[in-house]
């Protein structure tokens, strides 16, 4: 009898609560984001008690604040049911990030399960187009394999992501290798997730626009074993400013990565079949790796590179002019520089080009709109991978 009374009491409590809650829920399911046939996109958020809701992201025109380019934002409109909405103009085929600001508080879209972490920020994403117009979409093609691999560098266990092209497991062919490096705060998951490197390579290779290749994406933080949540011990929050990122240790031990790859994979182990490229801090590493080892890489890609000559006391960063001379004496097949017009590193890259021009060193230059953003780095990855290993 006691159990029945308790159950009845619970039902009496629960039923009114559920009925009361349903008064505030929309009668029809909320869809967000909703991509329309005309490539416009509608975002919706149920927040009946909010006073103001904004949407911000790279699907909106960028804004300039205090001389710096920032993500655009726009106020959403609230209907009688408490649903806030906004519809964009038609968007180009691309991968886009966005989030909401509810009374000034950043909120992810509860209706969108597709989310990517960038350092310590989770961003909602959506895609526009199809695999023919947008290489970031999974195409109906043969797919390569993505592996998370542990190896030793500088005497410590560390993790890298390795992409092997379709057919690698079934054949005996040896492949060229691109070493693809992330920026500050990133890790071995940055290029596969934010850069869509897997989709880019699968689609370009299938279309004959890029040669089949291995892509090695190591963790560029010498003080970090692996991406947050993947290293030994309890998960730690991502940290943008890790120690020992640009003081010579990474470049000094990069040979460990090459040795591991060339002893564990079927690759063509010579300069002609090696490339190195990276964004921001990864561009910094690519610059100094190629400068210190002119016999390692035939292709060098600097994407919004943090070009500077640090005074860290490391021999890695000494004699920039002499090392560049040695590098270009060996005639790399491609020295690729790319940056956005409003990137905060634009002047540093312009100064590098002036140095190369003064010495008649050949290079390829790509300038795009926008600043220090993944949209640009994905463009550079598409172009760079279509240009390498062609000789």
Domains of the chain: residue spans and CATH: 24-128 (2.60.40.10), 145-387 (3.40.50.1820)
- The rounded distance, in Å, linking the Cα atoms of 32 and 111 is 6
Specify burial of residue 113 (Cβ count, 10 A radius: 0-12, 13-18, 19+). Answer: exposed
Residue 198 has pLDDT above 80, yes or no: yes
pTM: 0.88
Q: How confident is the model at residue 229 (pLDDT cuts 50, 70, 90)?
A: low
Query: What's the N-to-C CA distance of the chain in angstroms?
Result: 86
In whole numbers, what is the pLDDT of the chain averaged over residues? 88
Specify burial of residue 360 (Cβ count, 10 A radius: 0-12, 13-18, 19+). Answer: exposed
Residue 4 has pLDDT above 60, yes or no: no
- The rounded distance, in Å, linking the Cα atoms of 285 and 343 is 18
Q: Is 198 helix (H, G, I), strand (E, B) or coil?
A: helix
- Please compute the mean of the pLDDT values over residues 193-206 and round it to a whole number: 96
- The rounded distance, in Å, linking the Cα atoms of 334 and 319 is 22
Tell me the HSE value of 213 on the side-chain side, using a 13 A CA sphere.
Answer: 31
* Structure confidence by residue, pLDDT tens digits, 105-147: 999 999 999 998 887 788 999 999 988 889 999 999 999 999 9
């Amino acid at each position: 009898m006691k159990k029945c009374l308790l159950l009845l009491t619970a039902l009496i409590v629960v039923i009114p609560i559920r009925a009361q809650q349903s008064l505030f829920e929309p009668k029809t399911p909320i869809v967000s984001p909703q991509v329309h046939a005309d490539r416009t996109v509608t975002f919706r958020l149920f927040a009946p008690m909010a006073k103001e809701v904004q949407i911000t992201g790279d699907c909106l025109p960028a804004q300039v604040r205090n001389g710096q380019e920032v993500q655009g934002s726009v106020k959403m409109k609230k209907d009688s049911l408490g649903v806030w909405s906004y519809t964009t103009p038609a968007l180009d085929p691309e991968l886009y990030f966005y989030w909401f600001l509810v009374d000034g508080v950043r909120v992810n879209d509860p209706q969108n399960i597709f989310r990517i972490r960038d350092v310590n920020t989770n961003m909602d994403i959506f895609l526009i187009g199809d695999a023919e117009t947008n290489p970031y979409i999974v195409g109906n093609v043969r797919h390569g394999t993505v592996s998370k691999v542990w190896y030793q560098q500088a005497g410590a266990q560390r993790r890298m992501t390795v992409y092997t092209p379709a057919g690698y497991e079934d054949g005996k062919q040896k492949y060229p290798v691109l070493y693809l490096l992330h920026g500050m705060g990133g890790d071995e998951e940055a290029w596969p997730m934010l850069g869509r490197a897997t989709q880019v390579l699968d689609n370009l290779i299938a279309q004959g626009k890029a040669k089949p290749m291995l892509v090695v994406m190591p963790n560029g933080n010498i003080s970090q074993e692996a991406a947050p949540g993947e290293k030994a011990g309890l998960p730690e929050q991502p940290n943008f400013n890790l120690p020992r990122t640009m003081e010579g240790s990474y470049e000094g031990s990069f040979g460990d990565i090459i040795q591991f790859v060339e002893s564990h994979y079927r690759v063509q182990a010579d300069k002609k079949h090696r490339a190195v490229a990276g964004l921001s801090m990864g561009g910094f590493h690519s610059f100094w790796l190629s400068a210190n080892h002119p016999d390692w890489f035939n292709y060098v890609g600097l994407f919004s590179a943090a070009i500077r000559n640090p005074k860290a006391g490391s021999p890695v960063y000494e004699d920039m002019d002499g090392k560049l001379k040695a590098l270009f004496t060996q005639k790399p097949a491609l020295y690729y520089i790319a940056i956005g017009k409003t990137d905060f590193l634009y002047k540093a890259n312009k100064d590098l080009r002036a140095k190369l021009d003064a010495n008649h060193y050949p290079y390829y230059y790509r300038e795009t709109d926008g600043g220090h953003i993944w949209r640009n780095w994905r463009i550079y990855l598409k172009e760079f991978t279509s240009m390498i290993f062609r000789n």
